[in-house]
Structures are given as C-alpha cells and as structure tokens.
C-alpha cells in the first residue's frame, strides 16, 4: 500500500505480510527466534501449530513425464536401470514339449482323462488343419498355434481302451442281457414291443449340433396292444400309411420339436392318444357296413353263400368223396360253415383275397377248394386211369 506524505516522500506499507510481522517482532524483542525454532520443530515432526499431524492430499499422481526423465538422465541426476541380457544357455535349458517326451506304451487315459480343448504340446500326433490357397504345394497348418484345432470338439478322451476301462468299471452295476432274448426274435418282440431309434451325427461346420439328431423313430408291435378287431381297424385307419400290414408294425416319426427328448415325449403322447381314440366307440360307427371293412371277410361275402350251396349238393352226390359227407344229407348250413374243413378254407380264402397274389397262394387256393368239394387233382386223375 502506497501513502503520499508530502510533495517529495512516499511511504510503502504491506498489510498482512509475514515478513513485516517478523521484522516488527525482531525490532521489538527477541521472541522471533523462539517462535521460529518452535515452527521448525513442528515441521520436522510433521505436526502443525496445534500439534496435529498433517494430512497430505494427492491431487495429481506423483509421476514424472517422459521429457523430465530424459532431462534427468542427460544431466546425471537419475540413473536408468540396465536389464541383464538373457543367457543363451538359460534359454536352451527350457524343457521340450511334453509330446516329444511321451513313450509309446503310456496310459493315454491318464494324459487326457476328460473332454477338453486341443493342446498341441500334449498330443503326440502330427495333426494338421486349415486351408491353403494351393493345397498341392503347401500342406495345412501344423498343430502349434492352430486355432482351428482349438475351436472344434475332439474325442481324444474316448479312445477304445478308455471306453473299455469305463465299461469294466460300471459293469458291476449293470444287469446282463438275457441270452434267451438275444437269440429268439419273437420272444424279444414280445418282451420289448416298442423300439426307439435315433441317429447322432459328427460333421465339420460352424455349429456342433445337427438338426437330424432330433428325429426320433418309434416302432410298435400292434399285437402287443391287445386291441379288438374293431379297435385295431380303427387304429389302422387313423395311422394311415404308418402301419405295415406285413410286419403288423406301427411306425411313428417325430421331428417337429427342437430337441430329441421333446420328440421322444411327443411320440409317446401320439401313441397314447392313438390307443385311447381307437378304443372309443362313436355313435356313427354303427352305420358301418361290410363294404367299409379294410379286409374282405369270407362269411360276409357271396362266395360263402355260393360255396355252402355247392357243398350241400356235393354231399348228396354219390360220385364225390367230400369230407363233409359225415354231416349227412340233411346237414344244416350252420353245421357246414362250422366244419373244420370249411374253417381251414375260410382262413385260406381271406389270406388269398387280402394279400398280394402269388403263384404259391393260387396253388394253395386250388388245393383247398378241391379238398372241400372232394375233387381230385388233374395229375391224380391221370394216374388213376
């Protein structure tokens, strides 16, 4: 602060200055030396005037800039630490890959016990994978550092010896398959009427899952369901082309769900619904007539009536030796229809009409009709003459 005292004098004053305060104290008495000594003692001990420790606050990290470090290095105020150069012998002392030290008779299940990603230093096989622009000139990439081998799943943990070892371990918990079922196919179908089939695929692609693995095929022996003739015919109509008449087998294929388990449960659901719907009897089913049957029945055909009339005349004829003559001349139509010879002919006739015609079935038909009427074959007639 400047004050003008006169025409030629100016007074300079500095209010609140520590220097001015100290000068005034020094001029008055010698207390300045005592106060300065106490401040020095507090500063050396890290204490303030009240005797409390200072709390340092870090606003900016204490790190040197690159230019500052270079300047200190050039002026000699700092020393740059020098790292020792690695010795070539130390580098050669590093252990070789594990795959080069493995023996040929080692236990591979101990090396690769579970499923894991591919490791080039562990697998002692010269595996290559990858694509080259010209594969005839350059082979695929080696296994070292090959990411293509790491991305795909491997089956190195499922070697034949490992699988055999696992089977031997769980063998004591399993039940032996009955040998009677292994050699008797009919007994096997009787004990296990339902067969489940599915496939598992291994392929190279971006996705390890194949959509074809979700398809489930179920085969059922219809005879094991113990359905009545009416319910069996209704099931055949409901199943459509899924029923095989030759093997009497119903095949259900499910593939509309996302997983195999869901498709298997859906196949069991379809079988359950199909079974209960076949056993239901609706009111409109009473309107069914013989022409609506899937199979041609002998007793509901005109051939049955014509054959009984013909057999009745053959019984009365003296030149024919039919087995039905034991019924007598006055035999009723019911007795003729229930005769064992007629029942055999009935089974043969239904088989002949409801299956594909062959030479053998035609000969069998001719043989039974001659037996019913008491006629001889042409060859026997020629021999007798």
135 with 187, same domain: the answer is no
Residue 2 lies in a domain: no
Residues with Cβ within 8 Å of residue 154, at least 6 apart in sequence: 115, 117, 118
128-170: per-residue pLDDT in tens? Answer: 999 888 888 889 999 988 999 998 889 999 999 999 999 999 9
146 with 192, same domain: the answer is no
146 with 191, same domain: the answer is no
Read out DSSP for 217-233?
Answer: EEEEEGGGG---HHHHH
Which range, 2-11, 14-23, 315-324, 351-360, has the best average confidence (pLDDT)? 351-360
Please, which pLDDT band fits residue 332 given cuts at 50, 70 and 90?
confident
The residue among 154, 174, 194 that closes a domain is 174
Domain that includes residue 243, residue range? 180-283
The residue among 139, 174, 209 that closes a domain is 174
275 with 185, same domain: the answer is yes
Q: Strand 194-197 vs strand 10-12: parallel, antiparallel, or unpaired?
A: unpaired
How far is residue 200's CA from residue 383's CA, in Å, rounded to a whole number? 66
227 with 254, same domain: the answer is yes
Give the pTM: 0.53
Averaged confidence pLDDT in the chain: 80
Q: Answer whether residue 32 shows pLDDT above 60.
A: no
- Retrieve residue 373's tokens: 């009427």
168 with 106, same domain: the answer is yes
How far is residue 72's CA from residue 85's CA, in Å, rounded to a whole number? 25
How far is residue 139's CA from residue 132's CA, in Å, rounded to a whole number? 7
Question: What is the structure's pLDDT at 2?
Answer: 46
Residue 113 lies in a domain: yes
Residue 361 lies in a domain: yes
- The answer to whether 20 and 14 are in contact (CB under 8 A) is yes
195 with 121, same domain: the answer is no
Give me the CATH number covering residue 263.
Answer: 3.30.160.20
Share of the chain above pLDDT 90, in %: 27
375 with 317, same domain: the answer is yes
158 with 185, same domain: the answer is no
Residue 227 lies in a domain: yes
The residue among 174, 201, 234 that closes a domain is 174
Question: What is the structure's pLDDT at 45?
Answer: 62
Residues with Cβ within 8 Å of residue 271, at least 6 apart in sequence: 218, 220, 252
193 with 273, same domain: the answer is yes
Q: Answer whether residue 99 shows pLDDT above 70.
A: yes
Number of domains, the chain: 3
According to DSSP, residue 194 is labeled: E
């Amino acid at each position: 602060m400047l004050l003008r005292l006169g025409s030629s004098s100016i007074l300079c004053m500095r209010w609140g200055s520590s220097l001015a305060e100290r000068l005034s104290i020094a001029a008055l008495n010698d207390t300045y030396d005592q106060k300065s000594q106490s401040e020095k003692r507090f500063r050396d001990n890290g204490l303030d005037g009240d005797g409390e420790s200072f709390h340092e606050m870090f606003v900016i990290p204490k790190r040197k800039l690159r230019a500052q470090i270079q300047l200190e290095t050039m002026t000699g105020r700092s020393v740059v630490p020098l790292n020792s150069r690695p010795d070539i012998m130390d580098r050669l002392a590093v252990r070789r890959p594990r795959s080069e030290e493995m023996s040929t008779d080692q236990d591979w299940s101990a090396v690769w016990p579970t499923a894991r990603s591919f490791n080039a230093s562990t697998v002692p096989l010269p595996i290559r994978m990858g694509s080259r622009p010209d594969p005839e000139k350059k082979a695929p990439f080696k296994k070292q550092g090959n990411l293509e081998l790491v991305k795909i799943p491997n089956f190195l943990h499922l070697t034949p010896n490992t699988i055999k070892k696992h089977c031997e371990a769980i063998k004591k918990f399993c039940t032996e398959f009955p040998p009677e079922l292994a050699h008797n196919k009919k007994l096997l179908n009787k004990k296990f009427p339902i067969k489940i089939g599915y496939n598992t695929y291994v392929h190279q692609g971006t996705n390890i899952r194949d959509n074809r693995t979700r398809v489930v095929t179920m085969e059922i022996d219809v005879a094991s369901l113990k359905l009545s003739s009416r319910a069996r015919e209704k099931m055949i109509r409901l199943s459509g082309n899924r029923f095989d008449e030759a093997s009497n087998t119903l095949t259900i294929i499910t593939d509309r769900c996302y997983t195999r388990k869901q498709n298997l449960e859906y196949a069991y659901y379809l079988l359950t619904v199909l079974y209960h719907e076949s056993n239901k009897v609706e009111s409109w089913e009473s309107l069914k007539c013989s022409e609506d049957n899937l199979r041609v029945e002998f007793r509901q055909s005109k051939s049955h009536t014509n054959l009984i009339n013909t057999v009745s005349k053959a019984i009365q004829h003296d030149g024919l030796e039919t087995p039905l003559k034991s019924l007598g001349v006055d035999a009723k139509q019911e007795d003729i229809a229930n005769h064992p010879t007629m029942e055999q002919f009935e089974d043969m006739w239904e088989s002949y009409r409801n299956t594909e015609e062959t030479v053998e079935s035609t000969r069998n038909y001719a043989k039974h009709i001659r037996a019913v009427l008491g006629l001889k074959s042409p060859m026997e007639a020629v021999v007798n003459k």
